[in-house]
Amino acid sequence: MTRIHIQANLYEHLRNHFSYTSFHEGQEEIILDVLRGRDVLGILRTGTGKSLCYQLPAKMLPGITIVVSPLISLMIDQVRELEAIHYRQVVALHSFQQWSERQTILRNLHHYKLIYVSPEILQNKQIITLFKQQHVSLFVVDEAHCISQWGYDFRPDYLRLLEVIETLHNPTVLALTGTATPNVQNDIQDKLKRPNMIEHVYPMDRENISLVVEEINGSEAEKLDHLLTWIKGTNEPTIVYFSSRIATEKVAQHIANQLANKRVAYYHGGLETTDRLKIQQQFMNDQLEIICCTSAFGMGINKANIRMIIHYHLPPQIESYIQEIGRAGRDGRDSISVLLYRQEDIHIPLQIIENELPTHAELRFIMERLIDYQDNKVLLPLDEDVIEQQFLIQPTKWRYLLYQLEQHGIVKEQEVQTTESTIKEVFNEINHFTEQRLRAKRQQLNEVINWIHTQSCLRTKLYEPFQQDITRKEANCCSNCGVVLEDSLEHDVSTDKETSDWQTLLKRVLLIGDID
Amino acid sequence: MIFRYVILSALKNLQYERSVSAVYYLIQGKQSIQTIQDAHLFEIDKYYRITKYLNKKRFMKEIQLLEQELYLEAMPNENYYELTSKANEWLEKNESKMELWIVNGMRYHYIDDVFFERLLLTIQVWANFVKNERTYIPVIEKFEVKHWVKQYFINSKNNVAQLMKNLYEELAEILHSIDELYVEIFVLQLTSYKKYGLAKVQIAEKTGSPKEDIELMTLTVVHQILDKVDAEPTRFPILAHLKSDVTEEKQLTFSASKTKSLLQKGYTIEQVAQQRRLKENTIYDHIVEIAIHDQTFNIQSYMTTDERHDIIKAIQQVQSYSLKDIKQAVTENISYFQIRLVLASWNKYL
Ligand SMILES: [Zn+2]
């Protein structure tokens, strides 16, 4: 087919599957290259429809498109949204599925065009064998920065993808991410052994977002007052990010008590799936205007009219910060990002970093226990509660360690296979690697601190590492260049606090008197 | 308050013969014979599996709090606790309030959440349909529930407006007999057209109760609906339909259901163990689990009729469910596995 033909075809598919008539910046270029069978590295800022770059080709290519996604919740969100617009033949495979559901999917693999998978699913031999029997046309690595140790969200699981791609007879590879420095871009291609990927890199600065960094010289209570002042000023959708679950709950409660006319809720990974889904959809449907959340919120959110993003705690790295503020103003209207900061706050992310990785002592203790397991020929438990009891280690640290142990060949399918001398050697290697990770994370945090204390333009400084030209913003650029906030205080919000009796509520739910 | 009431009164009923873990297994619904027999023996079967999603950490935290607040006192054995006089007074004081809280865990545990989820999703699907909205996010994600509701929707498509009116009548009739606070908590969770129901944590904030209480209060409403519908299914046709074809068997653990399907294909226990790379003892556990959940499961292939009679006789003789006691009272060649199997299908034989 000629280029013109492909292009005409492209627009027809875009209309049929998505009801769009035009592409966002970058989408068409990436899709055309993918359809031509070229390996592509695409860097598109969040909110510009990264996922369309494979959702559309999936429908046009013969066979199956596989998408590796690091977050199960994100994957479920995407499938949910596609199903809602009646994009068919899409499914997600992940470890939280019921056995029967997964078997049904696996029996009908040929029926799907687009399959989302979590990285650990691709370690399952049965599943790989089944995939191998299918014709896989396109292999998508979403959030591709996860493959790089220098990326802000390194997932060791991602390093195994190369092997999977080879097993699947080397389909076209599309690596996508929202943020990656040139360093990380090279690393992605290195790790995928595809040095000749076509790079499509688009700028990630957002000229409609004003950046404010506000340092508070005072107590925590004063910081909370500053937060309330910001929130009072707007009636429009606002996300407030925190670094701990408990803080989201406490501050949401505080806001509800202090500002009776605000509809506020909290959201974090500790909530049940149904509660998470309901709160997320309430926000989407404007039943709520403020969400107090951890970084677990927002990944799959595609809400155009979010006006304000507040960071109540320091973000752990620049990249995640850019992603999070990028959720504001997708409709193109003026929006604002506020970072509230106290000198003392630095301890919180430092603490989190320490808690993510096993300490020297923990590592030593576990290695000793492993020898017992080997001697007594006992399998390692799968249940993380049991792990926590026996190894005195948090589940996140355990997952990190288990991967390391498997990589070094000490653990195979729950079984410990080692000798004393190997274990010493491996101990040293893991210890060394862990210290390296720790240093990298501290370095990333330092970049955030440096940025906060910049005297020059915050916007320029923020996007400098990622792109060459930064769009100049004439007014309301950042708090260093000067931001004038128009007085948008509106207190006459029509709140619909439910006070009706249950009969009325039930009638409303079942639309009694509303339909005939 | 309800959550605490459940823990304290279950512990009391167990007469201090069990550790607090037994309470956890009971309300979380561990699928073991010990737990199910405890439930019947100590007459706390209504508590069985009423907090399916409770994790052990949260439970132990509540025990800790109860101890700190002097409702519980640790006994010499680890994890054994005694109610203090403060706790007994508290139970007594709240007894009348707790009369509103009616559940029947043993009877409905396998159906309550499927029924509630079908109801939630059906309402959402119908409401969006009559409003001509075709793109929305379903409030329930579970594959089986979505599949079932989809089928139901296809069959009800031509009559949705009328069905919604009828559903209102059916629900209203039942809800009128339940305490208003409970009903409000239930209704606030329903999702309609462009209006998602409240999450349990939101209702908890709103009412100042712990999340577990909200779950337990919702369960009362669900169980009461199931009770009324069971009594007069023809009077509540939509609700009766929503609870149709849910079988208890679906509650098997993932591993046991795998074993079951292999056994059904005619593999022996040894073969199943080999194929699944599990110990034979694990397969025995699975078979017992299958027998507990499927009272029609045929245990005859694992023992002769004589052996079965021998075990039943022994149970009646020793007047106990203790495996050790029973084992001593039967002929030597009868295994623990066989005794457990008979105990598991106790509905049929005892
Ligand atoms: Zn500036």
Query: pLDDT by residue (tens digit) across A267-296?
Result: 998 898 889 999 999 999 999 999 999 988
Domains of chain B by start residue, with CATH:
2-99 (1.10.10.10), 112-242 (no CATH), 254-349 (1.10.10)
Cβ-defined contact of A510 to B202 (cutoff 8 Å): no
Q: Which of B69, B56, B2, B4 is nearest to B28 (CA)?
A: B56
Give Cβ neighbours of residue B102 (< 8 Å, ≥ 6 apart): B220, B223, B224
pLDDT at A47: 67
Give Cβ neighbours of residue A221 (< 8 Å, ≥ 6 apart): none
pLDDT at A492: 43
pLDDT band at A332 (very low <50, low <70, confident <90, very high): confident
Cβ-defined contact of A509 to B123 (cutoff 8 Å): yes
pLDDT band at A148 (very low <50, low <70, confident <90, very high): confident
A 477-516 residues inside an 8 A Cβ radius of B: 498, 501-503, 505-512, 515-516
pLDDT band at B88 (very low <50, low <70, confident <90, very high): very high
The pTM for the full model equals 0.81
pLDDT at A378: 80
Query: pLDDT by residue (tens digit) across B331-347?
Result: 888 998 998 888 877 65
Name chain A contacts of B143, Cβ cutoff 8 Å. 97-98, 101, 104
Distance A212 CA to ligand 1 centre (A): 9
Q: Is the pLDDT of residue A194 over 90?
A: yes
Query: What is the CB-side half-sphere exposure of residue A218 using CA atoms within 13 A?
Result: 10
Instruction: State phi, psi for A291 to the nearest 5 degrees.
Output: -120, 125
Q: Is the pLDDT of residue A489 over 50?
A: no
The beta-carbon neighbor of B190 closest among A256, A275, A509 is: A509
Q: Helices in A36-122 by DSSP H: which ranges?
A: 52-60, 72-84, 99-107
pLDDT band at B248 (very low <50, low <70, confident <90, very high): low
Q: Compute the nearest-CA separation of B342 from chain A (Å).
A: 29
Distance A204 CA to ligand 1 centre (A): 15
Interface test with B, best of A268, A506, A508, A515 (most B CBs within 10 A): A506
Name chain A contacts of B197, Cβ cutoff 8 Å. 278
Q: Is the pLDDT of residue A182 over 90?
A: no
B131 has a chain A CB within 8 A of its CB? yes
pLDDT at A491: 41
Which one has a higher pLDDT value, B32 or B53?
A: B53
Q: Is the pLDDT of residue B234 over 70?
A: yes
Q: What letter would DSSP give residue A478?
A: B
Same fold, A3-201 and A209-349+476-511: yes
Q: Which residue of A has its CA nearest to B162?
A: A516
What count of CB pairs under 8 Å joins A to B? 118
Which one has a higher pLDDT value, A515 or A466?
A: A466
Q: Which of A21, A22, A90 is nearest to A55 (CA)?
A: A90
pLDDT band at B215 (very low <50, low <70, confident <90, very high): very high
Name chain B contacts of A81, Cβ cutoff 8 Å. 137
Q: Is the pLDDT of residue A488 over 50?
A: no
The beta-carbon neighbor of A99 closest among B172, B192, B254 is: B254
pLDDT band at B47 (very low <50, low <70, confident <90, very high): very high
Q: What DSSP string describes B40-85? A: HHTT-GGGTTSSTT--HHHHHHHHHHHHHTTSEEE-SSTT-EEE-H
pLDDT band at A98 (very low <50, low <70, confident <90, very high): confident
CATH code 3.40.50.300 for A3-201: yes
Number of neighbouring beta carbons within 10 Å of residue A383 = 9
Of the ranges A152-161, A176-185, A310-319, A366-375, which one carries the lowest mean pLDDT score? A152-161
Q: Compute the nearest-CA separation of B267 from chain A (Å).
A: 20
Q: What DSSP string describes A235-266? A: -S-EEEE-SSHHHHHHHHHHHHHH-TT--EEE
Burial class (CB in 10 A: 0-12, 13-18, 19+), B247: exposed
Q: Which residue of A has its CA nearest to B123?
A: A510
Q: Which residue of A has its CA nearest to B184?
A: A502
Q: Which residue of B has its CA nearest to A287?
A: B195
pLDDT at A377: 79
Cβ-defined contact of A274 to B134 (cutoff 8 Å): no
A279 has a chain B CB within 8 A of its CB? yes
Name chain B contacts of A278, Cβ cutoff 8 Å. 139, 191, 196-199, 202
Q: Is the pLDDT of residue B348 over 60?
A: no
pLDDT at A164: 94
Print burial letters for B313-332: b (CB count within 10 Å at least 16), e (below 16).
ebbeebeebeeeebbebbee
Pairing of the two strands A415-416 and A411-412: antiparallel
Alpha carbon distance B285, B268 (integer Å): 15
| Positive or negative: CA dihedral B262, B265, B266, B271 | negative
Tokens of B81: 């606790």
Q: Compute the nearest-CA separation of A439 from chain B (Å).
A: 33
pLDDT at B232: 95
**Number of continuous H segments (helices) and E segments (strands) in chain A:** 19, 15
Name chain A contacts of B139, Cβ cutoff 8 Å. 274, 277-278, 281
Query: pLDDT by residue (tens digit) across A63-90?
Result: 999 999 988 878 888 898 898 888 989 9
Distance A456 CA to ligand 1 centre (A): 7
Give, rounded to a whole angstrom, the gap between the first and last alpha carbons of chain B. Answer: 37
Residue A43 falls in which region: left (phi positive, over 0), alpha (psi -120 to 50) or beta: beta
Tokens of B300: 């005859």
CATH code for the part of the protein at A209-349+476-511: 3.40.50.300
Annotated domain spans of chain A: 3-201, 209-349+476-511, 365-445
pLDDT at A498: 54
Of the ranges A117-121, A171-175, A298-302, B236-240, which one carries the lowest mean pLDDT score? A298-302
Mean local confidence (pLDDT), B75-94: 93
Interface test with A, best of B150, B201, B278 (most A CBs within 10 A): B201
The beta-carbon neighbor of A271 closest among B123, B141, B201 is: B201
The percent of residues in chain A predicted with pLDDT above 70, rounded, is 95
Which one has a higher pLDDT value, B41 or B21?
A: B21
Q: Is the pLDDT of residue B291 over 70?
A: yes
The percent of residues in chain B predicted with pLDDT above 70, rounded, is 96
Query: pLDDT by residue (tens digit) across A201-237?
Result: 988 888 899 999 999 999 999 999 999 999 998 889 9
A 56-115 residues inside an 8 A Cβ radius of B: 76, 80-81, 84-86, 97-101, 104
